[in-house]
């Protein structure tokens, strides 16, 4: 478990990093926190010729709230999200999720940008981005573009990033006041990859949902925003409504079967997360007990 | 249990300033915590090269061709060696023991020659100036394989249609044992109820913090091989290395300094370690092998992997009339060397029902070959299986007759006043304390209150369960374990204690330390036996050139056997010292004692002469001593129990947990253990050993599983997919003691290292079934994953 030989270059600025990316293209990999890349190198699952270390680019670090948009620098570490007052007050969902990302040692080094660019389908943050309708700020030598979260995640470890591009920040619209969030994942052990998880954002209109975004992870090759919520928006929520939504959810999912969970278990967990989420957000615990099968 | 209870009647304790029974901090703790441990993984020798192995990607295949040319040309590569080339310096072995009648296995080479028999078997060794360069060159070695059918399902391994892995052996049956005691058929025929179940135990492994590590150094000038290795049994390694490298034993020195965990993983002779010794001899330079995590999962011995059918006969009054089991286990393609892979099944036969009074017991165990990694002895060998089967059946019987699990145990556990006695398999028990242990456990957990809480919560749809598991445990093994079978594995241990010139003490022991506190308890015993403060005692272990000959640390034997040798050697040296002191002081030895580093008058406590002063006279002014007195400031004593084959211990565990019936997740809420290891030398070390053992048992119960596919591929050989138990999921573990010292030694200590693992999974499984009893569901399979629970509940 030793990494194959590679060249190492430390970017001195974003421009420098982009120049190196442009020059080396596919042969290069960006190194930020290294929490996914280094194990992959040591297991020889990846063998890039060049690592471009962006770890010292302080300009990519930090959390900024302006005009109801929270901008998170790509090098912001998971631990920073957990400790941030802005995140707590503006994006509690991210804080909830960050507590479930691996273990403290990994959260101390892992970065949000690295996590999103890695696009592990069992990871928590991509699902949060989808729930929060985030935009990825992507730079290349000749410019900058923004990609919505729903277009950014393309498959297992696949994103909209081109080889010459760098994810520099994430822009997240601050949810309107009064919105509710829910986060839960089924894991064998604390810190493990989820068997199925849900990051949710809800807007309430009295006792009804004005909007409900249920973003599932570890349920397919990328985070998935459930369409079944249409059964729950603008209606009085009853056990029957939840059962309808669960049935619709079941019809739209095509979860994988693996060692930790069968496809049937994932469907079961997804339905369960729906009812538990609705019950939690509406503060009606009795709804969680119903219609789970 | 108070200190005085634990150590009552202990001769050594009657001495002033005894450390026995005290939680003395481990002397090696500062060194290890400051990162100054001396692990083989860190060792660097001049001219040392690193070996990485090309390992078979297939479970069973013929090796058609090997091309090493490209690898040999890679940067930093010193040599590329095939199995055939290595066979010139390392002879093959067969892992059998004479007392396991009928056990067979095939010759195993240090590296595969014509054929690979499991995924992960070493095929080619690449030696380079660094491990990374060696791994680069491994990728350049080309091996052509012709795939052979893999035997992976133990249930069909003996079918006539299944290919025979080693045709010379005739079939895939490595070992079979049958035992029949009492009147089993009559008992089952006459009993009011018969309950049966099939228990399935997943294959798992011991995950050590430091992987297996060896540096082998062949010194041509001395014609001597020095092996630095993290092992539990240095003298065994010495013997085996010499035997298969055509050396005399004195030509091999084994050095074992700090070891990062063992759990039985490091008590075996691994093919790749033997290859490393041979490569050092072949290349005439030091060779280092440190297994990486993937290699460890593929080659460190696995354990368990049993399917055990069990039956119990019970009367409605709660009287258990008979047990019957039929155990099947798959051990990989070879029986492991030199302790063999039949021991676990053999132990299952030995132990089932051993805590109960019924004399009627029938057992069959079959051990079959398969194309997976080898299995062998891992912490609590066979005990978790025997305990889970026995205690699972007892709970099923209790449920069938509507009796509380505590009551059926009270009625059937061997009485505390029944000793000495023997089990239906002929195991002799000196003295056990099942009922006292049960009673203490019930107090600790407040059983009645817990049952009331369970009932209260169940009305609210919350499903909690209580599971009990009593057990017996083999410790302090004598020659009956291996010696009688012809293995040169010492069951005796020796300790040398030496008074040095400044009045301090150096102690050499043949037991070893892998993190459990062997150094600490040895220092405690020597300091107490001699009468010196513990900071004056330095313990040296793990060097076949320096320590007395002995077995090492495994099978819960180090404290009981090595500890007694330490006590007796310290007492002998004390006698020697008092003889000299008497001459100096013109007194009688019997009127003197040693306490707090000085020779004292025992009645007044008056310090007569400091040990440092006595040592000064002995070593530098012997001319002042009376003529004819020859001081002997070194004493050596050895010990092995011979009256009983094993010092059996006993204990009982309880689990309190909650099952989320919607998700299949289990939350462990509390865990209690009462165990009886005789004299408790260091309560903190014993309690932590028990807790660590429980955690490993809980890992087996809920998480740990080596998952092979039907082609013999290990599919989860990494720390993300192989789930070891971690702190967040662990319950508090309360540990209590009942103390029944063995009378075979003055120290009275029995083993404690495996008790936790022996019963933890059984307690959890029984608790899960208790929690799920309203659903009419019984689960007899571990690990108890959410998938297993949901399937049983019909939800996935």
| Residues in CB range of B685: below 8 A, 6 or more apart | B23, B26, B516, B517, B520, B521
Report the residue from B294, B721, B787 with minimal CB separation from A265. Answer: B787
Q: Find where tokens 């789970």 sit.
A: A292
pLDDT at B17: 75
For B593-608, what is each residue's pLDDT tens digit? 999 999 999 999 999 9
Q: Considering only alpha carbons, which residue of chain A is nearest residue B666?
A: A188
Choose among A3, A186, A193: nearest Cβ to B720.
A193
One domain, residues B348 and B236? no
pLDDT over 60 (residue B10): no
Which chain A residues touch B787 with a CB distance below 8 Å? 260-262, 265
Hey, are the CB atoms on A191 and B728 less than 8 Å from each other?
yes
Q: Which of B63, B201, B256 is nearest to B145 (CA)?
A: B63
Cα separations in angstroms, A225 against A212, A257, B141, B435: 10, 20, 47, 59
Q: Check whether A293 has a pLDDT greater than 80.
A: no
User: Is any Cβ of chain A less than 8 angstroms from the Cβ of B667?
Assistant: no
Q: Indicate the residue among B639, B669, B694 that finishes a domain.
A: B639
Question: What is residue B795's predicted lDDT score, i.e. its pLDDT?
Answer: 84
In a domain, residue B235? The reply is yes
Contact B756, B694 (CB under 8 A): yes
Nearest CB to A268 within list B723, B728, B796: B796
Residue B199 falls inside a structural domain: no
Q: Which of residues 114-153 of A touch B (CB under 8 A)?
A: none
Residue B311 pairs in a beta bridge with: B196, B324
CA distance readout (Å), A74 to A59, A62, B79, B722? 9, 8, 46, 31
Using the predicted structure, report yes or no on whether residue B49 has a pLDDT greater than 80. yes
**Is B721 in Cβ contact with A259 (below 8 Å)?**
yes
The DSSP letter of residue B334 is: S
Name B643's Cβ contacts closer than 8 Å, sequence gap at least 6. Answer: B430, B744
Match 């960050």 to its residue by tokens.
A98
Tens digits of residue pLDDT in B338-353: 999 999 999 999 999 9
Q: Are B303 and B205 in contact (CB under 8 A)?
A: yes
B785 touches chain A (CB under 8 A): yes
- B670 and B582 part of one domain: no
B716:A2 CB<8 A: no
The answer to whether the Cβ–Cβ distance between A259 and B795 falls below 8 Å is: no
Look up tokens 């330079």; give the residue: B285
User: Which residues in chain A have Cβ-Cβ distances shorter than 8 Å to B131?
Assistant: 2
For A76, list phi and psi in degrees, rounded to 5: -65, 130
Q: Give chain A positions within 8 Å (CB) of B136.
A: 4-5
Q: What's the gap in Å between the CA of B332 and the closest CA on chain A? A: 22
Q: How many helices (H) and strands (E) does chain A have?
A: 11, 14
Kindly state whether residues B253 and B334 are assigned to the same domain. no
- The residue segments making up the domain with residue B272 are 40-148+211-259+265-299
- CATH number assigned to the domain comprising residue B449: 3.30.365.10
The pLDDT value recorded for residue A288 is: 85
Is the same domain home to B629 and B581?
yes
Confidence label for A292 from pLDDT (cuts 50, 70 and 90): very low
> In degrees rounded to 5, what are phi and psi of residue B85?
-65, -40
The CATH code of domain A180-289 reads 3.30.390.50
Rounded Cα distance between B330 and B157, Å, is 9
Give CA separation, A171 vs A73, A133, B433, in Å.
9, 9, 67
Same domain, B275 and B312: no
pLDDT of res. B1:
38
**pLDDT category, B147, cuts 50, 70, 90?**
very high
CB distance from B728 to chain A under 8 Å?
yes
Q: Which of B664, B728, B787 sits opposite A190 (nearest CB)?
A: B728
Task: Quick: pLDDT tens for B609-624.
Answer: 999 999 999 999 999 9
pLDDT digits (tens, 9 = 90+) for A197-208: 999 999 999 999
CB B495 within 8 A of CB B559: no
DSSP-derived secondary structure for B54-87: EE-SSSSEEEEEEE-HHHHTSTTEEEEEEHHHHT
- What share of chain B has pLDDT > 70, as a percent? 98
Asked if B317 and B392 sit in the same domain, the reply is: yes
Asked if residue B101 and residue B23 are part of one domain, the reply reads no
Distance, CA of B612 to CA of B606 (rounded, Å): 16
Closest CA to A192 of B776, B283, B729, B357: B729
Q: How far is B375 from chain A (nearest CA, A)?
A: 22
Q: What is the pLDDT of residue B399?
A: 98
Give the span between the Cα atoms of B294 and B706, in whole angstroms: 12
CA distances, A206 to each of A232, A282, B713 (Å): 14, 10, 56
pLDDT one-digit tens code per residue, A13-68: 999 999 999 999 899 999 999 999 999 999 999 999 999 999 999 999 999 999 99
Q: Is A47 on the interface with B (CB under 8 A)?
A: no
pLDDT value, residue A94: 98
Residue B6 pLDDT grade (very low, low, confident, very high; cuts 50, 70, 90): very low
A259 to B461: CB separation less than 8 angstroms, yes or no? no
Per-residue pLDDT, B14: 63
| Integer Cα distance of B51 and B80 in angstroms | 9
Question: What is the full DSSP assignment across A241-257?
Answer: HHHHHHHHHHHH-----
pLDDT at A291 over 50: no
Asked if the model's pLDDT at residue A226 lies above 60, the reply is yes
The DSSP-derived string for B118-134 is: STT-EEEEEEESSHHHH
CA B580 – CA B582 distance, rounded (Å): 5
B181 assigned to some structural domain: no
Q: What is the pLDDT of residues B739-771, one digit of tens each?
A: 999 999 999 999 999 999 999 999 999 999 999
Nearest-angstrom CA–CA distance, B185 and B362? 9
The answer, for B703 touching chain A at a CB cutoff of 8 Å, is yes
Compute the mean pLDDT over every residue in chain B, rounded to the nearest whole number: 96
- The predicted model gives B466-478 an average pLDDT of 97
Question: How far is Cα B628 from Cα B583, in angstroms, rounded to an integer?
Answer: 11
Smallest Cβ–Cβ distance between B132 and the set A2, A260, A268 belongs to A2
Count structural domains, chain B.
Answer: 3
Residue B12: the pLDDT is 54
Cis peptide, bond prior to residue B746, ω within 30 of zero: no
On whether residue B341 sits in a domain, the answer given is: yes
- Cα B745 to Cα A285, B513, B677, distances in angstroms: 62, 22, 13
Rg (CA), chain B: 27
User: Is B662 in the A-facing interface, judged by CB distances under 8 Å?
Assistant: yes
Task: Say whether A261 and B786 touch across the interface (CB within 8 A).
Answer: yes
The pair of structure tokens assigned to A252 is 């739209």
pLDDT of residue B787 exceeding 50:
yes
In chain B, % of residues over pLDDT 90: 97
Task: Give the integer Cα–Cα distance in Å for B470 and B15.
Answer: 35
User: Cα dist. B683→A193, B29, B542, B562, B688 in Å?
Assistant: 38, 17, 25, 18, 8
Q: What is the 3-state secondary structure (H, E, C) of B253-264?
A: EEECCECCCCCC
B401 interfacial to chain A (CB closer than 8 Å): no
Range of weakest confidence among B6-15, B85-94, B309-318, B527-536 = B6-15
Residues of chain A found within 8 Å of residue B786, distances taken between Cβ atoms = 186, 188, 195, 261, 265
Q: Are residues B780 and B649 in the same domain?
A: yes
Write phi, then psi, for A269 (nearest 5 degrees): -65, -40
Using DSSP's 3-state secondary structure scheme, residue B200 falls into strand
- pLDDT per position as a tens digit, A250-289: 999 999 999 889 999 999 999 999 999 999 999 999 998 6
Q: Which of A2, A120, A122, A290 to mutate to test the interface with B (most CBs of B within 10 A)?
A: A2
Q: What ipTM was assigned to the predicted interfaces of this complex?
A: 0.95
**What pairs with residue B594 in β-bridges?**
B599
Interface probe for B, chosen from A4, A184, A193, A265 (most Cβ of B below 10 Å), is A265
Q: Does the pLDDT at position B152 exceed 80? A: yes
- Taking 60 as the threshold, does the pLDDT of residue A96 lie above it? yes
CATH class of A58-173: alpha beta
Residue B206 lies in a domain: no
pLDDT computed for residue B27 by the predictor:
87
Q: Are residues B760 and B705 part of one domain?
A: yes
Nearest-by-Cβ selection for A1 from B292, B665, B716: B292
CA A82 to chain centre: 15
Statement to judge: residues B306 and B451 lie in one domain:
yes
What value does the mean pLDDT take over residues B133-161? 98
Assigned token pair, A68:
């109801």
Q: Where are the domains of chain A?
A: 7-53, 58-173, 180-289
Report if residue B762 sits inside a domain: yes
Contact B668, B699 (CB under 8 A): no
Nearest to B208 by CA among B184, B232, B226: B232
The pLDDT value given to residue B2: 40
Evaluate if residue B5 carries a pLDDT over 50: no
- Facing B663 at nearest CB: one of A186, A189, A293: A186
- pLDDT tens-digit profile of A148-198? 999 999 999 999 999 999 999 999 999 998 899 999 999 999 999 999 999
Give the domain-ending residue among B616, B639, B662.
Answer: B639
- CA A220 to chain CA centroid, Å, is 13
Rg from Cα positions in chain A = 20
Same domain, B287 and B313: no
Instruction: Tell whether the model's pLDDT for residue B105 goes beyond 90.
Output: yes
CATH of the domain spanning A7-53, picked from 3.30.420.40, 3.30.43.10, 3.40.190.10, 3.30.450.90: 3.30.43.10
Does A233 reach chain B within 8 Å, measured CB to CB? no
Segments of B187-250 assigned E as strands? 193-205, 213-219, 224-229
Q: Is B723 on the interface with A (CB under 8 A)?
A: yes
- Which among B136, B707, B790 has CB closest to A259? B707
Domain check: are B137 and B279 in the same one?
yes
């Amino acid at each position: 478990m030793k990494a194959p030989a590679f060249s190492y270059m430390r970017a001195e600025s974003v421009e420098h990093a982009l120049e190196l990316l442009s020059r080396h293209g596919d042969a290069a990999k960006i190194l930020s926190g290294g929490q996914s890349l280094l194990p992959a190198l040591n297991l020889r699952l990846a063998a890039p010729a060049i690592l471009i270390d962006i770890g010292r680019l302080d300009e990519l670090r930090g959390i900024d709230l302006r005009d109801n948009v929270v901008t998170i620098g790509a090098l912001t570490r998971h631990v920073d999200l957990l400790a941030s007052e802005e995140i707590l007050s503006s994006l509690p969902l991210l804080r909830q999720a960050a507590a479930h990302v691996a273990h403290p040692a990994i959260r101390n080094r892992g970065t949000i940008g690295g996590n999103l660019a890695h696009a592990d389908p069992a990871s928590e943050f991509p699902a949060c981005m989808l729930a929060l309708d985030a935009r990825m700020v992507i730079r290349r030598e000749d410019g900058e573009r923004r990609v919505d979260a729903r277009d950014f995640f393309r498959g297992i470890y696949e994103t909209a990033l081109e080889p010459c591009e760098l994810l520099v920040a994430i822009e997240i619209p601050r949810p309107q006041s009064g919105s509710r969030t829910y986060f839960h994942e089924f894991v064998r052990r604390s810190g493990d990859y989820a068997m199925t998880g849900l990051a949710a954002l809800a807007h309430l209109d009295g006792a009804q949902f004005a909007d409900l975004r249920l973003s599932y992870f570890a349920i397919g090759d990328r985070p998935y925003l459930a369409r079944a919520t249409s059964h729950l928006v603008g209606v009085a929520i009853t056990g029957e409504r939840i059962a309808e939504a669960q049935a619709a959810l079941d019809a739209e999912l095509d979860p994988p079967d693996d060692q930790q969970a069968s496809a049937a278990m994932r469907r079961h967990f997804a339905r369960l997360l729906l009812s538990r989420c609705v019950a939690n957000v509406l503060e009606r615990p009795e709804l969680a007990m119903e219609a789970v099968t | 249990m108070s200190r005085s209870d634990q150590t009552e009647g202990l001769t050594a304790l009657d001495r002033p300033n005894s450390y026995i029974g005290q939680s003395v901090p481990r002397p090696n703790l500062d060194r290890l915590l400051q990162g100054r441990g001396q692990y083989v993984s860190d060792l660097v020798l001049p001219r040392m090269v690193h070996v990485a192995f090309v390992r078979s990607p297939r479970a069973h295949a013929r090796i058609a061709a090997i091309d090493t040319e490209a690898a040999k040309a890679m940067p930093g590569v010193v040599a590329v060696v095939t199995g055939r080339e290595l066979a010139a310096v390392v002879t093959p072995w067969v892992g059998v023991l004479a007392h396991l009648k009928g056990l067979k296995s095939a010759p195993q080479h240090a590296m595969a020659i014509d054929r690979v028999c499991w995924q992960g078997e070493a095929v080619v060794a690449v030696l380079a100036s660094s491990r990374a360069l060696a791994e680069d060159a491994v990728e350049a070695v080309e091996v052509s394989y012709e795939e052979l059918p893999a035997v992976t399902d133990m249930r069909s391994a003996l079918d006539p249609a299944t290919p025979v892995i080693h045709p010379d052996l005739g079939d895939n049956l490595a070992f079979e044992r049958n035992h029949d005691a009492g009147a089993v058929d009559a008992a089952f025929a006459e009993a009011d109820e018969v309950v049966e179940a099939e228990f399935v135990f997943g294959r798992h492994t011991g995950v050590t913090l430091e992987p297996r590590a060896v540096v082998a150094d062949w010194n041509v000038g001395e014609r001597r091989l020095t092996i630095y290795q993290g092992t539990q049994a240095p003298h065994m390694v010495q013997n085996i290395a010499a035997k298969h490298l055509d050396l005399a034993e004195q030509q091999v020195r084994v050095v074992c300094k700090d070891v990062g965990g063992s759990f039985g993983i490091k008590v075996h002779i691994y093919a790749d370690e033997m290859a490393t010794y041979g490569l050092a001899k072949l290349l005439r330079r030091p060779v280092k092998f440190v297994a990486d995590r993937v290699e460890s999962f593929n080659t460190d011995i696995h354990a368990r992997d049993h399917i055990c059918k069990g039956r119990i006969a019970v009367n409605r009054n709660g009287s258990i009339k008979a047990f019957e089991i039929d155990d099947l286990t798959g051990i990989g393609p070879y029986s492991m060397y030199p302790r063999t892979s039949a021991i676990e099944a053999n132990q299952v036969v030995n132990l089932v029902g051993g805590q109960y009074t019924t004399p009627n017991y029938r057992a069959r165990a079959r051990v079959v070959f398969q194309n997976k990694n080898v299995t062998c002895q891992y912490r609590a060998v066979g005990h978790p299986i025997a305990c889970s089967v026995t205690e699972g059946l007892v709970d099923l019987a209790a449920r069938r007759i509507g009796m509380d699990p505590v009551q059926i145990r009270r009625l059937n556990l061997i009485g505390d006043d029944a000793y000495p006695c023997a089990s239906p398999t002929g195991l002799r028990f000196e003295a056990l304390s099942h009922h006292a242990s049960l009673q203490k456990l019930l107090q600790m957990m407040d059983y009645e209150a817990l049952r009331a809480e369970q009932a209260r919560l169940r009305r609210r749809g919350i499903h909690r369960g209580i599971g009990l598991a009593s057990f017996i445990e083999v410790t302090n093994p004598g020659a009956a374990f291996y010696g009688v079978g012809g293995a040169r594995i010492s069951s005796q241990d020796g300790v040398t204690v030496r008074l040095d010139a400044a009045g301090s003490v150096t102690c050499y022991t043949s037991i070893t330390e892998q993190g459990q506190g062997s150094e600490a308890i040895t220092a405690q015993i020597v300091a107490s036996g001699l009468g010196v403060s513990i900071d004056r005692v330095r313990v040296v272990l793990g060097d076949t050139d320096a320590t007395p000959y002995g077995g090492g640390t495994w099978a819960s034997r180090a404290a009981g056997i090595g500890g007694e040798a330490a006590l007796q050697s310290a007492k002998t040296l004390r006698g020697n010292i008092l003889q000299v002191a008497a001459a100096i002081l013109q007194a009688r030895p019997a009127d003197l004692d040693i306490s707090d580093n000085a020779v004292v008058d025992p009645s007044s406590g008056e310090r007569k002469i400091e040990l440092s002063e006595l040592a000064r006279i002995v070593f530098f002014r012997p001319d002042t001593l009376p003529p004819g007195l020859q001081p002997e400031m070194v004493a050596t004593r050895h010990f092995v129990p011979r009256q009983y084959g094993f010092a059996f211990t006993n204990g009982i565990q309880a689990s309190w947990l909650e099952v989320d019936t919607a998700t299949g997740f289990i939350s462990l809420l509390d865990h209690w253990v009462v165990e009886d290891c005789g004299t408790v030398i260091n309560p903190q070390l014993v309690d932590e050993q028990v807790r660590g053992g429980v955690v490993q048992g809980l890992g087996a119960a809920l998480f740990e599983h080596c998952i092979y596919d039907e082609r013999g591929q290990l599919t989860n050989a990494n720390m993300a997919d192989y789930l070891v138990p971690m702190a967040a999921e662990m319950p508090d573990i309360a540990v209590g003691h009942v103390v029944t010292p063995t009378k075979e030694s003055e120290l009275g200590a029995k083993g404690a290292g495996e008790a936790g693992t022996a019963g933890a999974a059984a307690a959890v499984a029984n608790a899960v079934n208790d929690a799920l009893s309203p659903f009419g569901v019984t689960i007899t399979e571990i690990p108890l994953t959410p998938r297993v629970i949901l399937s049983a509940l019909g939800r996935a």
